[in-house]
Structure 1
C-alpha cells in the first residue's frame, strides 16, 4: 500500500506587518522558499507532479493562481503545474492533506504542499473589497453581518471562563518559549534565508523576549468594551511562507530521500460559523478516533494561537500537558501569515519531533467560516 511521507520542510522567517518582508512580492517570497526546499532535498523540480499552495486573500498580487506564478518565479520547469487552495487560515494545512491524498491515491509520486500570505501587501479582508460574500440564503440562516473573529474569541473566553490574566499569562509564555527556541537554535534547520531589498532576513521578527503579562494587561480590548481579548493575546498580522515535500516511502527510497515523518491521519470538520474558532476541538476528536490514538499518545501539540482563548479552550477540553502544547511558542509570538500558517506550523512540529524523538505530533487550527483541520504526523525512525 502507498503511504505519504514528508522528506523536507522549510519555512521563511515570519515578518511583522510593515516589517522586514513587506517589500517582497508574495510570489517572490514563495519562490525563495520553494528554491530552498529544492536545494535542501536535492530535488530536481522536474519530478514534481504538482505544487499545492495555500493563500487566503487571493486578490492583487496573490491572485492568478499564485502557486503557478511562484514555482515559475523559482525557475522551476514550465512542465510543473500548481494550484491554489483557500480553506481560510487552514489553507496550507489543507494543501498538505491534498498532497498526501494525491500520493496515496497514485495521482502523484512527488508533490509540494505549502502556502504564503503577505498581510503587509494584501491586508486581511482585501478579497471581498466592497462586496459582501454573504448572499440572501446565508443571511436568512446566520444573519447578513460578516462573522467577527475577535468577538468569537471573546465568546470563547466567556464560555470557558478564561479571564484576562490567564490569556495574558499564556501570551507571555508564547513569547518566552519562542525566544528560548531562537536562543537554542531550534528554528535554524527549518528557516530559509530570504533576500529582500534591504538585506537578508534570517530570523522571525515578532518575538519579544521581554514580554510580560503586566505589560500586556495595559493593552486595550478593541473587540468588546470591558472584554479580555487584546492585540497582545492574539496572533500577529504577518508575512511568511512555508513548503513541504510530500511523496511515498517507495519513491523517497528511489530518490535517496530520508523521510522525516509519515502523514498518519488527516481530517477536516465544520463548526459553528459565527463563533468560527471552536473547530479544533471536534477536529482533534475526529483525528484521534480515526488514528485509534489517545491524547496521551501524542508527544507534541501545535494548536494555532489565533487567540489565546482558542488554544486554552482546546487545552481545557483535552488536558494536554502544558509542556507539550506549542512548546516553541506559537502565532502570538511568531506570527500568523494566514495562508502560510498551516505549513509553517507543520514545518515547526515536524522538526521538533525529529529533534526530540517524538513519535506522534498533532497540529490543528481554527478557520474562517467555522472549520478546522487536524493532522497527526508519525516520526519515521
Structure 2
C-alpha cells in the first residue's frame, strides 16, 4: 500500500445557529473550502480525481449528492466526480479515510476528503424515519440519554461536566485571541442582518462564560440527569476540506507534503451507550500504528458531550494538556458532517505550530461507532 500525504487543509469559520453563515445555501458553504484547499497550493482542480463529501443530514438543501453539486458550484471541471456519505458525526473523517484508501490502493493520486453541515437550515434528524424499524434488536435511544449513561458508568459528576465545558470555552477564547485558528480558517463574507459581514473567527465560543451560571442550567435529557446545554456540543454551520496526494501526485503537481496518514480505523460499539466508541477505536489504532498514547503530541477527541471526553480520559490516561488544547465542539461548535475534516485541519496546523510529530483524532458516532486517525507531520 502506498503512503498518503496531507497537502492542504482548510475550513470555514464555524457559524452559530442562525448566525452569519445561516443565510448561505449548504451547496455554497460546501463549495468554499473546495475552492480554497486547491487555491492555497496552486493546484488545478482538474487534477482532483474524486471528492468524498461527508454530510449527516443529506436531505432537502443538503440532498441530491451535495458533494457533486458543490464541485459544480465551485467552478471545477465537470470531469471531477464526487460522492456524499453519511457515517453520522464521523462523516468527514470517514470521507478523508475513503479518499486516502483510494490513493493508498493506487486508484488515484489526488483526492479530497471534505464535509458540510448547515444545521440552521437542515434540521438534525430530519432524515430519520418517523419510527425506527421494530425488528432491530436494540433500543435506539437519543444520544443525550447515551451521554447520561456514560455519566452513570464512569461516575461523572455534574461538577466534572460543567468544569470541563467551562475550560473548553476558556481554551477556545485563548486560542482565538492568540490567532491560532487563522491559518486554518478561510474568511467568509456574507450578508447578515442587513449588512456585509466578513466572518474570520468561530462564532460559538464565549470569552465571558460563567461557571456558576452553567451550574444553574436544567438537565437537558433526563430529569435527574447531569448533561445540560452547556455540556453538549453546539448546533452549528460550516464546511471543511482536506487535500490528499500520493508521492507520485506530489511530484507530478509540485506539491509539498505536510503530514502523512499513519493509520485509520473505524469500530462498532454498544448502540445503547453509543458514544464510548473512541475508547476501543483509540486502543485499536495505537496497536495498528505500533505507537502509544504518550507518542501523541496532540489529540482531538470530538466534544459531542463532555461525558464522552471525560470517560475517554479515564480509560486512556493521556496527558490532559495534549487533549483538545484549543477547545472543542462544546465551545466552538459541531457542524456534524464537517467536524471530522475541521478537526483534521486544526490538528495539522497545531502540529506545525508546535513542532509536534504525531496527532490522534477520534470521534464518537451515533448508533455506536467511532473513527480514529493518526497523522505524522513531515
If the TM-score is normalised by the length of the shorter chain, which range does it land in? over 0.9
Picking from 251, 254, 257, the partner of 1:256 is: 254
Instruction: Tell me which residue corresponds to 1:52.
Output: 52
Partner of 2:187: 193
Q: Root-mean-square deviation (CA), in Å? A: 1.0
Partner of 1:347: 345
| Distance (Å, rounded) in 2 between the aligned partners of 1:299 and 1:276 | 27
Q: Distance in 1 between matches of 2:34 and 2:345?
A: 14
Rounded Cα–Cα distance in structure 1 between residues aligned with 2:184 and 2:250: 20
Whole-Å separation in 1 of the counterparts to 2:319 and 2:209: 23
Count of matched residue pairs: 374
* Alignment pair present for 1:214 and 2:208: no
Q: Following the alignment from structure 1 to structure 2, what is the Cα–Cα distance between the partners of residues 237 and 220? A: 18
Match of 2:307 in 1: 309
Residue 232 of structure 1 corresponds to which residue in structure 2?
Answer: 230
Aligned to 1:66: 66
Q: CA deviation at 1:254?
A: 2.5
C-alpha contact 1:49 1:80 (8 A) present in aligned 2:
yes
Tell me, yes or no, if the aligned pair for 1:165 and 1:213 is still in contact at 8 Å.
no
SS in 1 for 2:276: coil
Q: Which residue of 2 aligns with 1:12?
A: 12
The match for 1:179 among 163, 173, 176 is: 173
1:325 maps to 323
Q: Mean Cα displacement is larger for which, 250-259 or 345-354?
A: 250-259
What are the superposed Cα offsets for residues 238-283 of structure 1, whole Å, 9 maximum, x if unpaired?
0010000001123213222111110100000000112210100000
Which shows bigger deviation, 250-259 or 152-161? 250-259
2: distance between equivalents of 1:202 and 1:370?
A: 34
Provide, for residues 273-324 of structure 1, a one-character-per-residue CA deviation record: whole Å limited to 9, x for no partner.
1221010000001000100111111111101000000001000001111110
Is residue 202 of structure 2 the alignment partner of residue 204 of structure 1? yes
Q: Is the 8 A contact 1:287 1:376 kept in 2?
A: yes
1:142 pairs with one of 133, 138, 141: 138
1:348 alignment partner, SS class: helix
**What is the TM-score of this pair, normalised by structure 1?**
0.96
Q: Unpaired segments of 5 or more residues in structure 2?
A: none
Match of 1:294 in 2: 292
Q: Could you tell me which of 149, 155, 161 is aligned with 1:155?
A: 149
| 1:188-219 deviation digits (Å, cap 9, x = unpaired) | 00001122223221110001011132121111
Asked if 1 retains the 8 angstrom alpha-carbon contact of 2:109 and 2:248, the reply is no
Q: Distance in 1 between matches of 2:161 and 2:251?
A: 46
C-alpha contact (below 8 Å) 1:148/1:274 kept by paired residues = no
Most deviating of 219-228 and 52-61: 219-228
Q: Distance in 1 between matches of 2:321 and 2:142?
A: 31
| Cα offset, 1:135, TM superposition | 1.8
Deviation of 1:137 (Å):
2.2
* Residues 7, 259 of structure 1: 8 Å contact kept: yes
In structure 2, which of residues 355, 358, 368 is the aligned counterpart of residue 370 of structure 1? 368
1:273 aligns with 2:296: no
Classify the secondary structure of the residue corresponding to 1:197: strand
SS in 2 for 1:361: strand
Q: 1 CA distance for matches of 2:377 and 2:271?
A: 34
In structure 1, the partner of 2:108 is 108
Mapped to 1, the partners of 2:324 and 2:248 lie a distance apart of: 32
Aligned counterpart, 2:281? 283
Q: What is the rounded CA distance, in whole Å, between the counterparts of 2:152 and 2:357 in structure 1?
A: 35
Structure 1, unpaired ranges of 5+: none
Residue 26 (structure 1) aligns with: 26
* TM-score (normalizing by structure 2): 0.97
